[in-house]
Amino acid sequence: MAFERRNWTHVDTLPNDRFLVVACRCTRYSDGSTDFNGRIFDKTGNLLRQLLLGDGIEDIKTDKDGFIWASYFDEGIFGHFDWNHPEIIASHGLVKWNDQGCKVYEYMPTDNDLQPIDDCYSINVVDEND
């Protein structure tokens, strides 16, 4: 398994003998290009896919259905490394991705009792029946 030199901070398993490796930081460059900070590998270490999961990842968890849950710290939520509104992927503080790298959920306060997330230190993902 060949890696470019990065600070890979998170590893978790995915269904079908795959695993996810994530770097917590990624940059958006002035030309609009970005670092891909997620990698999905098969059990023998072959790279299957690169993902853009956003800057400032505090924690990553995967669930039994293969979804990827990411929580973000303040620099990711408010923008750093040239991420600007509305392009800040992490601006909602908690995002659910599919294993193709498509966003399928982001936290949105829906009533006055819920507040925006400014920093999400850790998450846990369990089955609906747990």
- pTM (predicted TM-score): 0.86
AA identity, residue 79: G
Residue 120 to residue 47: CA distance in whole angstroms: 29
Alpha helices, DSSP H only, in 42-129? 74-78
- The pLDDT value recorded for residue 52 is 94
Q: In this structure, what is the dihedral angle of CA atoms 1, 89, 24, 49, given to the nearest 10 degrees? A: -10
Tell me the domain boundaries of the chain: 8-106
CA dist 129 and 7 (Å) reads 35
Q: What does the pLDDT read at residue 31?
A: 85
**Mind listing the pLDDT tens digit of every residue in the chain (130 residues)?**
555 677 899 999 999 999 999 999 988 888 888 889 999 999 999 999 999 999 999 999 999 999 999 999 888 778 776 666 556 787 888 999 999 999 999 988 776 777 878 888 888 888 766 6
